[in-house]
Amino acid sequence: MERTEKDIERYLCKRVKALGGKAYKFVSPGNAGVPDRLVVVPTGLESLVTAIYLLVEVKKPGGCLRPQQRMKIKELCDMGADCRIVDCYERVDKVIMELETAVVAISVLAGDVGNGRCI
């Protein structure tokens, strides 16, 4: 059975929740083409970088971006936003692994390793 976009989106939400984060449904009236989810993952730090934010567009396996989505994602990236496109569980897993690595790296840079505030 082929996975649907909804399957991929549920899997993303489940994996983000396991990190202690949230994958909010992102809707911006009047701004068609924005990514589907705003992902927020806490770093465990009380200062510096307290959370990591990224926007995720979810597609069905092999699905393509519409021109409006491509344009909106480029616009967001040009402004410094971290945008990802996932169309399978493996791509979700890759994004989750990158988030885990980023949380550890931020904790190391902040000198918090060994203080119980690092995942």
Per residue in 3-32, pLDDT tens?
A: 999 999 999 999 999 999 999 999 999 999
Instruction: Tell me: pLDDT of 115 over 70.
Output: no
Tokens of 98: 């990158």
What are the extents of the domains in the chain?
5-109
Q: What is the pLDDT of residue 112?
A: 52
- Please state, as a whole number, how many other Cβ atoms lie within 10 Å of the Cβ of residue 56: 23
User: Locate tokens 């549920």: which residue?
Assistant: 10
How sure is the predictor about 71, in pLDDT bands with cuts at 50, 70 and 90?
very high
Q: Report H helices in the chain.
A: 5-18, 67-78, 89-109
- 65-85 per-residue burial string, b: 16 or more CB within 10 A, e: under 16: beeebeebbeebeeeeebbbb
- What is 5-109's CATH topology? Trna Endonuclease; Chain: A, domain 1 (3.40.1350)
The residue-averaged pLDDT of 60-64 equals: 95
